[in-house]
Structure 1
Amino acid sequence: MPLVSSLRRTCCAALCGLIFAATLPGAAPAIERASFGRTPAGAEVEQFTLVNGQGASAKIITYGAIVADLRIPDRTGRTVGVVREITASPAGFERGFAQSAAVFGRVANRIALARFELDGETYQVTPNMGRHHIHGGRLNFSRVVWTPSPVVTPDGPALELRYRSPHGEEGFPGNLDVTVTYTLTLSNTLRVEYTATTDRPTPVNLTNHAFFNLAGTGDVLDHEVTVNAELYTGAGESLIPNGEIRTVRNTALDFTSPRALGARVAQLPANQRYDHNFVLKRPGGAPSLAFAARVLEPKSGRTMEVWTTLPGVQFYTSPLGAAAAAGRFGFYCLETQHFPDSVNHAHFPSTIVRPGSPYRSITEFRFGQR
């Protein structure tokens, strides 16, 4: 028994040393695989830690394709978690780990009255926000277990996650095969690539609902935000789009130049928060990767730029975390997306995917220091 115990201690020490070394700048990129637990139905959930050898790491779980933790260095090399961290718990699985960096679909954001017409046929999808549909319904992509394939690429460690959404799931037509690939690049960028194919026409709008705080703790009111948008989509009851495209000029939504979030929040009506879709400016209107937003956390100097091929970004502020007790916002989301309720507004960019024409999008969260 003493020999076995000694061997166990030696092996554990060696493994811990390997993992620690991989997180140090200059170490080789690596992927660590571990169990995260089981769902109430008994499905195994795995956790993959992507380590890029440049001081950054990302923990991704197969449940909901959630980024459970993302650690980024500041200008001094100090590393903190910049997304709301998720840990295994039965309650978390029951709630679907709400307020996490999960992938939402088949259609993220809102569908008015949970209904749309496509090719002359009316589809009724699950109403899970009063009379309306949001984020793909009750059994959305954040509440399923994805199939993983880890790989170390020339750009950095990556994790491919696959899920088949069957015909009729939450009321949507067609079997939809979805792939989400996370890559933690050697330049401290978290790249998220989405692809989807279908066997019949169906709407698709995929996003990651990451809750960010570049300081790692406290409120985010001193974070300086820039959004590359002069327009936003107007909305009415339950934030359902009314079809209008409005200017941000002379409003609390004007982030065309850097603004401290606290200064802008003070201009909002009492007890309101940001939950708005911005219409991104795109050079020539092309769907290439383009700048969407930038955030600076002034104390650490940590920065994040968001680049995407998508036409919109939902800017959302949340009172979650320790800051909530003081009535302040502890996190914000920058959800790259198609516009909410696009299926019911012909002048919005189309979300319809057809057989033979796959859905593809890329979003990059580029981290740095000032």
Structure 2
Amino acid sequence: MTTSPSALMRAYGVLADQTAINKVTLTNSNGVRVDVINYGGIITRIETPDSQGNMANIVLGMDNLQDYVNSSTYFGAIIGRFGNRIAKGKFSLNGTDYQLATNDGDNHLHGGVQGFDKKVWQMTPSTTANSAAVTLRLVSPDGDQGYPGTLTTEVTYTLTNNNTLDMQFVATTDKPTIINMTQHSYFNLAGKGDILDHQMQINSNAITPVDSGLIPTGELMQVAGTAFDFRTAKAIGKDIEAGHEQLKLGKGYDHNFVLKNKPNKDLVEAANVYEASSGRTLTVYTQEPAVQFYSGNFLDGSTAQESGLKHNFRSGFCLEPQHFPDAPNQPTFPSTTLLPSDVYSTRIVYEFGTK
């Protein structure tokens, strides 16, 4: 018996300032389930079937609100205003210099000390005959974390009966600013263990290599003949200890892969992943020019979740569609400037399956 999609909201917890946080559970007609809280727009759980039809959670997360408040791993969060790193937190726009919050050594990472991952969003659930959705809204004031302009943002997560999670990001500003939003879920398609046997394919010919602070050098490095060549599927762990200088800098994969996308911003397939023991697959589509592949190199086993998934070294991977890191300081990179006359709009789609 198939059921209609549902989007149910319930209490999740209370912040120290007594702000109530809610959770929306999206369920499609196939029983695929996505849990979202309005703290950080965090996806706390994604349950999908394996090839035998057994449901399990395939994303890393915490078991309670306080753990998310204390966490610095960005598990499942909306990332903004600017995903990835900006060198020394500095950039210039229209002749004005700006200093952003620095929270990664000397650099600005994922929107700053209180990025979108630490904000309380307004949250509205909705359903149609074929989908369950939740819309999250946030107004980031002028000067927030050092960014210019009041940014009005809306993110909609739509779980369809085709087993896709379709994520739409929209934002407007009242003065010129920069923006680079993404979603930061960590996946483990087996629901246990590490991710080194997952078969990964990334549709990319080049990465943006980084320096010791993980800031792009401004060059492009072709992946052919290197540990970064995922043009044909291979195990994440196959070359991760290959001794490549870039792997040493990131303690594994933590790199921006340049995608072959079209200027008219059609959705393109960025990457696909297969895990043999469960038969689960994940395909990531995006309108962004790049995807950051992160192999969970800074997870240290200090946290875990009720499902028994311990957050050990390389127990989850991220595929974060985005513009290039440090783009405001790199004139050859695609622009991340947003003007008051424009609307920022981008889409990321996670497609869940089995084979």
- Give the TM-score taking structure 1 as reference length: 0.89
Q: How does 1:34-53 map to 2 (within 5 A)?
A: 34-53=10-29
1:240–1:340: 8 Å Cα contact kept in structure 2? yes
CA 1:224–1:268 in 2, change beyond 3 Å: closer, same or farther?
A: farther
Is 1:79 equivalent to 2:64 in the alignment? no
Aligned residues: 344
Is 1:366 equivalent to 2:351 in the alignment? yes
Is 1:288 equivalent to 2:266 in the alignment? yes
1:222 corresponds to which residue?
Answer: 197
Is 1:313 equivalent to 2:291 in the alignment? yes
- What is the aligned-residue identity percentage? 39
1:195 counterpart letter in structure 2: V
Superimposed CA distance per residue, residues 204-237 of structure 1 (whole angstroms, 9 cap, x where no aligned partner):
0001111000001111111000000001102112
2:113–2:145: 8 Å Cα contact kept in structure 1? yes
CA 1:337–1:155 in 2, change beyond 3 Å: closer, same or farther?
A: farther
The one of 166, 174, 183 aligned to 2:141: 166
Between 339-348 and 78-87, the greater mean CA deviation after superposition? 78-87
Measure the CA separation in 2 of the matches of 1:89 and 1:361: 28
CA 1:196–1:81 in 2, change beyond 3 Å: closer, same or farther?
A: same
2:20 counterpart letter in structure 1: E
1:216 counterpart letter in structure 2: G
Is 1:274 equivalent to 2:250 in the alignment? no
- The structure that has the greater radius of gyration is 1
1:154 offset after TM fit, Å?
Answer: 4.3
1:300 counterpart letter in structure 2: S
SS of structure 2 residue aligned to 1:230: strand
- Give the TM-score taking structure 2 as reference length: 0.93
1:340 corresponds to which residue?
Answer: 325
The one of 90, 113, 117 aligned to 2:66: 90
1:14 corresponds to which residue?
Answer: none
1:85 offset after TM fit, Å?
Answer: 2.7
Task: Say which structure, 1 or 2, has more relative contact order (CA 8 Å, 6+ apart).
Answer: 2
CA 1:35–1:125 in 2, change beyond 3 Å: closer, same or farther?
A: same
Measure the CA separation in 1 of the matches of 2:74 and 2:227: 24
1:64 corresponds to which residue?
Answer: 40
Note the residue ranges of structure 2 that are not aligned, 5 or more in a row: none
The one of 167, 174, 179 aligned to 1:199: 174
Measure the CA separation in 2 of the matches of 1:47 and 1:188: 20
2:260 counterpart letter in structure 1: K
1:155 offset after TM fit, Å?
Answer: 3.8
Measure the CA separation in 2 of the matches of 1:355 and 1:325: 44
Superimposed CA distance per residue, residues 134-157 of structure 1 (whole angstroms, 9 cap, x where no aligned partner):
110001000011001111034400
Superimposed CA distance per residue, residues 286-334 of structure 1 (whole angstroms, 9 cap, x where no aligned partner):
3110110000001111100000000010000115457999975211000
Measure the CA separation in 2 of the matches of 1:208 and 1:66: 9
1:55–1:77: 8 Å Cα contact kept in structure 2? no
1:21 corresponds to which residue?
Answer: none
SS of structure 2 residue aligned to 1:295: strand
Kindly report the root-mean-square deviation, in angstroms, between the aligned alpha carbons of the 2 structures. Answer: 1.9
1:275 counterpart letter in structure 2: D
2:226 corresponds to which residue?
Answer: 251
Measure the CA separation in 2 of the matches of 1:26 and 1:41: 42
1:273 offset after TM fit, Å?
Answer: 1.2
Q: How does 1:68-217 map to 2 (within 5 A)?
A: 68-93=44-69, 95-96=70-71, 98-217=73-192
2:6 corresponds to which residue?
Answer: 30
CA 1:268–1:162 in 2, change beyond 3 Å: closer, same or farther?
A: farther
1:92 offset after TM fit, Å?
Answer: 3.1
1:105 offset after TM fit, Å?
Answer: 0.7
1:227–1:293: 8 Å Cα contact kept in structure 2? yes
1:108 offset after TM fit, Å?
Answer: 1.0
Measure the CA separation in 2 of the matches of 1:324 and 1:30: 27
Measure the CA separation in 2 of the matches of 1:338 and 1:153: 32
The one of 313, 316, 330 aligned to 2:315: 330
2:334 counterpart letter in structure 1: P
2:50–2:279: 8 Å Cα contact kept in structure 1? yes
1:15 corresponds to which residue?
Answer: none
**Structure ranking higher in helix proportion:** 1
Note the residue ranges of structure 1 that are not aligned, 5 or more in a row: 1-24
Measure the CA separation in 2 of the matches of 1:65 and 1:92: 11
Measure the CA separation in 1 of the matches of 2:264 and 2:206: 17
